[in-house]
Amino acid sequence: MSYRFLPHTADLIVEIKGASLADVFHDATAVVRDLIVGDGSVAATESHSVTLEAQSPDELLIRFVRELLTWFQLDTFVPAQLEIAQLAPSRMVATIRGEPFDDSKHEPQPEVKAATRHNLSVEETDAGWRAVMVLDL
């Protein structure tokens, strides 16, 4: 499983590749952590639970990333690990462990305003799963 950022003039495109849909969500968690604290380490001292439903895997992914971004803005929660209890293309039940943003070890990064639906895709390919998402910075 892996993710990379692709060039976009004003915003950010992230491409995630994984063997399974679960990999895509694990990497999406890592992407958000990366965008909030860069290389900084994140401890798993607090947790948030989430139950999400959507009509398609791309809608499920956007809802998930939005949740992570909102928790950061509301409680400065930085995600570290995703524990999936249930995952289907249209439903997810999971716990996300992490910690509040800590000035002493985390360097502030530019704000991610939102996850967009522009060119959004989550697809199963011959090589596994691939997701593309544009984030508004």
Q: Smallest distance, Å, CB 115 to other proteins? A: 8
CA dist 66 to 63, 88, 127, 133, Å?
5, 18, 27, 12
Kindly tell me which residue out of 49, 95, 113, 124 binds other proteins, with binding defined by CB under 8 A.
113
Q: Which two tokens stand for residue 124?
A: 């199963």
Q: What is the C-alpha to C-alpha distance for residues 29 and 47, in angstroms, rounded to an integer?
A: 13
Interaction mask 75-104, other proteins, x per CB under 8 A: -x------------------------x---
Count of residues binding other proteins (CB under 8 A)? 31
Q: What is the C-alpha to C-alpha distance for residues 92 and 110, in angstroms, rounded to an integer?
A: 29
124 sits near other proteins (criterion: CB under 8 A): no
How many other CB atoms sit within 10 Å of the CB of residue 9? Answer: 4
Residues found near other proteins in the complex (CB under 8 A): 5, 7-12, 36, 38, 66, 70, 72-74, 76, 101, 107-111, 113-114, 116-120, 134, 136-137
